[in-house]
Amino acid sequence: MPHSRRYRSSERSSRGSYHERYRSRKHKRRRTRSRSSSSERDRRHRREDSYHVRSRSYDDHSADRRAYDRRYCDSYRRNDYSRERGDAYYEPEYRHSYEYRRSRDREGSYRSCKSSRRKHRRRRRRSRSFSRSSSQRSRQSSRRAKSVEDDDEGHLIYRVGDWLQERYEIISTLGEGTFGRVVQCMDHRRGGARVALKIIKNVEKYKEAARLEINVLEKINEKDPENTNLCVRMFDWFDYHGHMCISFELLGLSTFDFLKDNNYLPYPIHQVRHMAFQVCQAVKFLHDNKLTHTDLKPENILFVNSDYELSYNLEKKRDERSVKSTAIRVVDFGSATFDHEHHSTIVSTRHYRAPEVILELGWSQPCDVWSIGCIIFEYYVGFTLFQTHDNREHLAMMERILGPIPSRMVRKTRKQKYFYHGRLDWDENTSAGRYVRENCKPLRRYLTSEAEDHHRLFDLIESMLEYEPSKRVTLAEALKHPFFDMLGMEPSTKMWDSSRDISR
């Protein structure tokens, strides 16, 4: 429904008298330069009217489109900020100023009368803020939004200070990916809270992935309204000129970025314990609700707050960081798949990809468990367990670290090109063979200490890196592993508040 023109009953009556005066004076007008410029401004205002209708969110799409989109977010819209504000939308100060101008126009010339009406219409169209104090900024944002442009790759072109949906004020860019960009925004409908806004490229395949992610995030919000299961919380979503935008709680650095910024210094074992427990808890929640994440990696596990303490290492002559709180959230549900949905052949980022995926034997929730095993190892030693980009080499690394691939999996796979007489077709005398031999070793040889705690950790990792998905540990079993027994006695857990919402 268009919102560009609305009148109260008193305004409708005055509007009629205005048109009468307009008709009575029409024959007196002369063709001057000011008249042509006025008509040009009228045409520009009509374009702004049509622009404003286009710029609204999914709530104003056609009935057919709304029926398709309602399954994603209607429940959230009902519980949050309604877009149908009706006549209450207009604030009293604008009604008073309208009446004041109308009374002045009776005494002034037709040209000043028409100019006042035009200014009033412009103010009413552009002022879309709930608070009077932000009305000026809202008008500025509407003027900027008239020229929405994309770059060659489909990214939205924006500047710091721009407003989206007359609600989100862009503060800074947080990151960029193949899907689009993430920006930090001030949400003026949530009291100026800082949020992370994911702006998807205006490319159909990424937009479709964003719709699927919204569907998953809606399910998570529905099943976990108190946000106790450590999955990132979605606040809002909308379509901005072809860019799907999703508003999330603002978090800190990813566990990978913190590791990289810290010169790949491994996390202490007590922090590894706490982070591993939280990841298992979050992904178990997904599995309990018939979801597989399919893209678990350190980049998709974010600290709630990545503030750190700095200390100087005399031996290595460098500063080293230690994160103050190891509370984390699991993010990026763009590839998450429900049990009943189509399962694509290849999932997961290469280094965290399970053997059943590489061998195309079919996959389900256990492929997430394999990824978690690789992640925990990376937290402990500071580097990736399987550093490769080739399937055959990847399988050779697995055999070097974990032992031979089970014959049952070899017999069942369609990828027989990787095998010869039931064994991996791999020549250790090639350059690739030497690389694997020199850079990979049996799993237990990566232990940095012979303490019982470290052996318990590797026992957990071994159970997660079991070749056979049916024999791989479940996350419910993993959470009961002896490695987590000391969790409540360590200082890192005292700072963990899983229900904390730092964006409020």
What is the pLDDT at residue 42?
52
* pLDDT tens column, 355-369: 999 999 999 999 999
At residue 423 the predicted structure's pLDDT band, cuts being 50, 70 and 90, is very high
Arithmetic mean of pLDDT, 187-210: 94
* DSSP letter for each residue of 122-139: HHHHH---SSGGGHHHHH
Distance from C-alpha of 245 to C-alpha of 85, rounded to nearest angstrom: 22
Can you name the residues that pair with 419 across neighbouring β-strands?
424
Distances (CA, A) of 398 to 17, 326, 355, 358, 362: 84, 30, 9, 12, 19
What is the pLDDT at residue 121?
55
At residue 97 the predicted structure's pLDDT band, cuts being 50, 70 and 90, is very low
Arithmetic mean of pLDDT, 253-279: 97
As a whole number, the mean pLDDT across the chain is 78
At residue 107 the predicted structure's pLDDT band, cuts being 50, 70 and 90, is very low
What is the pLDDT at residue 141?
46
Higher pLDDT, 504 or 354: 354
Using CB atoms within 10 Å of the CB of residue 101, give its burial: 0 to 12 exposed, 13 to 18 middle, 19+ buried.
middle
Distance from C-alpha of 42 to C-alpha of 384, rounded to nearest angstrom: 62
The continuous run of DSSP H or E covering 497 comes out as none
* pLDDT tens column, 320-377: 999 999 999 999 999 999 999 999 999 999 999 999 999 999 999 999 999 999 999 9
Can you name the residues that pair with 329 across neighbouring β-strands?
302
295 catalytic? Reply is yes
Arithmetic mean of pLDDT, 225-254: 95
Q: Catalytic: which of 295, 368, 390, 501?
A: 295
**Residue 317 assigned to a binding site:** no
- Among 331, 1, 352, 396, smallest CA distance to 179 is for 331
The continuous run of DSSP H or E covering 118 comes out as helix 110-126
Distance from C-alpha of 124 to C-alpha of 450, rounded to nearest angstrom: 72
Higher pLDDT, 19 or 83: 19
At residue 89 the predicted structure's pLDDT band, cuts being 50, 70 and 90, is very low
Rg (CA), the chain: 30
At residue 177 the predicted structure's pLDDT band, cuts being 50, 70 and 90, is confident
Spell out the residues 6+ positions from residue 18 whose beta carbon is closer than 8 angstroms to its own. Answer: 102, 117
Q: Tell me, letter by letter, the H, E, C secondary structure of 192-204.
A: CEEEEEEEECCCH
Distance from C-alpha of 448 to C-alpha of 465, rounded to nearest angstrom: 19
Alpha carbon 238 to its chain centroid, in Å, reads 13
Handedness of CA 337, 338, 342, 347 (dihedral sign): positive
Distances (CA, A) of 443 to 154, 259, 339: 44, 21, 32
Higher pLDDT, 373 or 107: 373
Using CB atoms within 10 Å of the CB of residue 379, give its burial: 0 to 12 exposed, 13 to 18 middle, 19+ buried.
buried
What is the pLDDT at residue 148?
84
pLDDT at 480 over 90: yes
pLDDT at 499 over 60: no
Using CB atoms within 10 Å of the CB of residue 122, give its burial: 0 to 12 exposed, 13 to 18 middle, 19+ buried.
middle
Distance from C-alpha of 487 to C-alpha of 493, rounded to nearest angstrom: 7
| Tokens standing for residue 320 | 């080293």
At residue 178 the predicted structure's pLDDT band, cuts being 50, 70 and 90, is confident
- What strands, in cross-sheet order, belong to the sheet with 163-164? 163-164, 168-176, 180-187, 193-200, 243-249, 234-240
> What domains can you pick out in the chain, each with its CATH number?
148-246 (3.30.200.20), 250-486 (1.10.510.10)
Distance from C-alpha of 212 to C-alpha of 203, rounded to nearest angstrom: 15
CB neighbours of residue 276 within 10 Å? 29
CB neighbours of residue 179 within 10 Å? 20
Alpha carbon 226 to its chain centroid, in Å, reads 19
At residue 119 the predicted structure's pLDDT band, cuts being 50, 70 and 90, is low
Distance from C-alpha of 207 to C-alpha of 219, rounded to nearest angstrom: 19
pTM: predicted TM-score of the whole model, two decimal places = 0.69
Flag the least confident range among 81-90, 347-356, 362-371, 493-502: 81-90
DSSP-derived pairing of the beta strands 180-187 and 423-424: unpaired
At residue 488 the predicted structure's pLDDT band, cuts being 50, 70 and 90, is confident
8 A C-beta contact, residue 125 and residue 48: yes
